[in-house]
Amino acid sequence: MSALAVARLELRRLFVRPLGWVLGALTLGELAWRFVLLLGNFLAAQVRLAALPAGPGYTDLVAVPLLSSLFTGSLVPFGLTELALLVVPLLTMSSLAGERGNGTLPLLLASGQSPADIVLGKYLATLAWLVAWLALVLAMPLSLAHGTTLDWGKLAAATIGLVLVLALLAAIGLACSAFASHPAIAATAALVIALALCCVNLGAQAAGVDSGVIHWLALGTHLEPLLRGLVDTTDVLWFVLLTALALALAIRRLDADRERG
């Protein structure tokens, strides 16, 4: 119940601040433009695709690439995953670093909320915003579902993948906000960590290192199967583990705040 009270307060603050609205409007505009481009390419290639016995369809060429360009090999840049790398750190940067700077963090700690309640409440609020954002993006391909043959299973798996990515990025953003003294530092740290997770295997490959561990660490290793429609519990576990680790670090840092005063 305490976490819900914190979540409600955080959601209200997200709702009345312009940042969430501006980020939402700009990214939805970019994604709408991307959707139109992907749809145009699909329509232009439709005759050629019809000749292929098991060629890619609307889901493979429009719906899933809208969610990610990097991990689907799409030529049109900046899908939702790539935008999330920037949007989530901006959204979470003030969650705890801002409260600390504003002097309201001690007030939350003194209101009988445990550090876990505060972190979980803020996490739930951020996640609610991100899920609403994802739902609005998904509404674009779904709006044409009646006129096309949508692969519901593949889209559901991709959606699960995106929810897991957003959940992980939100947890990383919150952890960075818990450790940072200033929101800008939190946003930068969260962005760098997220980019590192995305590119760790690419960098290693470029350096001539092809380690299984580095490959396992990379976000793409676990997201790509989901975007292809393959739900593997080990991939889901990877996201859950990293998310739990980031949240645990945030809680621990807040507890240390109370200890240090």
Query: Which spans of this chain sit near another protein (rule: CB under 8 A)?
Result: 1-2, 5-6, 8-9, 12-13, 16-17, 102-104, 106-114, 258-261
Is the Cβ of residue 25 or residue 241 nearer to another protein in the bound state?
25
Is the Cβ of residue 64 or residue 105 nearer to another protein in the bound state?
105
Q: What phi, psi does 199 have (nearest 5°)?
A: -110, 5
CB 251 within 8 A of CB 121: no
Is the Cβ of residue 155 or residue 174 nearer to another protein in the bound state?
174
Question: Smallest gap, in angstroms, from Cβ of residue 188 to another protein?
Answer: 23
**How buried is 66 (Cβ within 10 angstroms: 0-12 exposed, 13-18 middle, 19+ buried)?**
buried
CB 137 within 8 A of CB 25: no
Helix locations, 17-79, DSSP H: 18-44, 46-51, 58, 64-67
Is the Cβ of residue 3 or residue 165 nearer to another protein in the bound state?
3
Question: Smallest gap, in angstroms, from Cβ of residue 213 to another protein?
Answer: 39
Q: Count CB neighbours of 14 within 10 A.
A: 19
Question: Smallest gap, in angstroms, from Cβ of residue 11 to another protein?
Answer: 11
Question: Smallest gap, in angstroms, from Cβ of residue 145 to another protein?
Answer: 38
Question: Smallest gap, in angstroms, from Cβ of residue 114 to another protein?
Answer: 7
CB 63 within 8 A of CB 150: yes
Is the Cβ of residue 82 or residue 257 nearer to another protein in the bound state?
257
Tokens 């609610």 appear where?
A: 128
